[in-house]
Structure 1
């Protein structure tokens, strides 16, 4: 009798799109509301890395991946992802959907890959896979401002082997889900004073899957106290703001807008970088510096003109209306004007209703020979 699962190859490629499948998507009617990440589009892009090189990504019908139970990513967490969006072009001339800063996402994806001992993927191949997918799924790009076709490029170690060594085979998958904005109303933030999101020299500055799983247990007080997001402090002193679980953090005091400096514990957010560019157009002085939680809460208690908000691909910009913690502290934040103004300006760019710096608005070019199957 032969033993099962002895092959070092784990992830099996799904079959290509059936003939005429893409044509059948044109009459889709999206539900309202969409939610976030609930409705999966029926097509994905996929490629495998074997024998030292990547296959060309191709489109396939969304479906289960055939993985052995001893696939390395399931045991050792060798998995990364990106979050990005395709927006309906709402400019006067309309046109194909727009990707927001896709090459920056490709670069960050590769930084994550290198940190976890995974192979890079050519930036042009990465973006081409997104374009091919979005072209086929254009009917799934919602039309309302703030909505998007959320894209989730993912890579994981696919070798079927329990040895504690890096995979030699990898799977690259891009999923898509038509979604509403992650947050449509101001959020409340719970200061996490015990657990740490990341430590020096770790993986906090990349989008490693385990970074997010590690936040789940700490999130229990959110549900118990009716809060939305954890606000993480540094791992050494539990004193300086780092970021929210799924967003970078900004603080405005008067005409100064600041955010914690990047480090190996803080993710280099694409939206964060965009706001640092846009902020001066609002007459704000921009600064990257440590943010002391005691200094912040004292300023709020003193009635200073203070705003706190998060930013990220899913949320775009999310004003914070309340900060609290386990001591019973509850500090309202009535001011939200700067966050809402920045959100509006960023959405204008993302939907193509205003100009943007080079590389921010990437038009999805129709494929000359149609999408690959």
Structure 2
């Protein structure tokens, strides 16, 4: 399936809705939704060609399978305003879109859903971003957040995979998720994912399973949960919406991938970029108590999260049920990596082939 690009796929009514939107700071997250979305259905064993349409309610039967059995996934990615000369001729840039397409397909296969051709995925994003180009913010760190979603659309209460599916891409101008260092609460009771489950893919239900544990964050004044392994609750795994890195001296450690840890695109990017910046990047198990003891002893330690939404988020405070509150002394490496990533994403410096994907203005 090949998608042809046209100068404008939007009706006059949609163009008017788009023109009426003015971006003002702060953008927040999902406060302003693009009035255009992309949508495609999978029926009779094949995907329809995705089309751009107005953002509007979708007709779903109450017995649609995704509502009952959680056969749903999503990806999170961004379009950045091209602010430099590293990628000439592009109005906006997608960051590693084919990697996101591959990860979505890995999730789809794990949940019994059909793969979407990678080229169709990327071209659909190109069309949507090009059509709503005016909503791509011009400030470094801000972006047009994109939410590709797929769900089982068959109306049937039978406990079997759907035979019809819907693929939707939404867009919303967004600030950086975290603009200042964050605080993290060590979750020692609940588990985010178990061996053999869906912790290594972006199944929608993974996030619902974190809500009960996250409810206490606001009461305690913390931003993110830091999850431990389900078997022993001794090893770092990841944050709710980010992978985790720990710097001890000159080594940067991140837990090795498993069936309980999501293969983050930003995580992979940092592991690849780190050595080019003179950093010693290692995939090794990280015991939570070793991190706590290192901080208590005065060792030079950094802890930070990384992901599409946050890019890189330094942690300045740790807490857990024992009342522990540990200030982490440094964040110079996290800040350096964050700035390097933003420079790449906004086209201010050249990146590896295929990482900075150009989107021309429609």
Same fold (TM over 0.5): yes
Indicate the residue corresponding to 1:371 in structure 2: none
In 2, the alpha carbon distance for the partners of 1:182 and 1:336 equals: 17
In 2, the alpha carbon distance for the partners of 1:27 and 1:226 equals: 37
Matched, 1:277 2:256: no
State the SS of the aligned residue for 1:163.
coil
Indicate the residue corresponding to 2:32 in structure 1: 39
Indicate the residue corresponding to 2:147 in structure 1: 152
Matched, 1:68 2:58: no
In 2, the alpha carbon distance for the partners of 1:23 and 1:96 equals: 21
- Contact kept in structure 1, 2:107 and 2:202, CA below 8 Å: yes
Moved over 2 A (4+): 16-28, 92-95
Instruction: Please list the CA deviations of residues 204-245 of structure 1 after superposition, one character each: whole Å capped at 9, or x if unmatched.
Output: 000000000000000122111100000000000000000000
Gaps of 5+ in 2: 1-8
Instruction: Please list the CA deviations of residues 162-206 of structure 1 after superposition, one character each: whole Å capped at 9, or x if unmatched.
Output: 110000000000000000000000000100001000000000000
Indicate the residue corresponding to 2:5 in structure 1: none
In 2, the alpha carbon distance for the partners of 1:68 and 1:159 equals: 9
Instruction: Please list the CA deviations of residues 90-129 of structure 1 after superposition, one character each: whole Å capped at 9, or x if unmatched.
Output: 0046731000000000000000000000000000000010
In 1, the alpha carbon distance for the partners of 2:292 and 2:30 equals: 34
Matched, 1:199 2:201: no
Matched, 1:56 2:49: yes
In 2, the alpha carbon distance for the partners of 1:24 and 1:211 equals: 34
- Contact kept in structure 2, 1:27 and 1:139, CA below 8 Å: no
Post-superposition offset of 1:278: 1.4
In 1, the alpha carbon distance for the partners of 2:16 and 2:108 equals: 35
Equivalent residues in 2 for 1:1-373, closer than 5 Å: 17-19=10-12, 21-22=14-15, 25-26=18-19, 28-92=21-85, 95-365=90-360
- Contact kept in structure 1, 2:98 and 2:118, CA below 8 Å: yes
Post-superposition offset of 1:59: 0.2
State the SS of the aligned residue for 2:56.
coil
In 1, the alpha carbon distance for the partners of 2:90 and 2:21 equals: 19
In 2, the alpha carbon distance for the partners of 1:302 and 1:221 equals: 29
In 1, the alpha carbon distance for the partners of 2:155 and 2:24 equals: 39
Instruction: Please list the CA deviations of residues 52-85 of structure 1 after superposition, one character each: whole Å capped at 9, or x if unmatched.
Output: 0000000000010000011000000000000000
- Contact kept in structure 2, 1:101 and 1:362, CA below 8 Å: yes
Aligned length: 352
In 2, the alpha carbon distance for the partners of 1:219 and 1:63 equals: 30
Post-superposition offset of 1:304: 0.3
Gaps of 5+ in 1: 1-15, 368-373
State the SS of the aligned residue for 1:99.
strand
State the SS of the aligned residue for 1:200.
coil
Post-superposition offset of 1:283: 2.0
In 1, the alpha carbon distance for the partners of 2:331 and 2:29 equals: 23
In 1, the alpha carbon distance for the partners of 2:15 and 2:252 equals: 46
State the SS of the aligned residue for 1:352.
coil
State the SS of the aligned residue for 2:14.
coil
Post-superposition offset of 1:29: 1.7
Post-superposition offset of 1:141: 0.2
User: Which TM-score applies when normalising by structure 1?
Assistant: 0.92
Post-superposition offset of 1:279: 1.2
Tell me how large the CA RMSD over aligned residues is.
Answer: 1.3
In 2, the alpha carbon distance for the partners of 1:64 and 1:128 equals: 24
Post-superposition offset of 1:281: 2.9
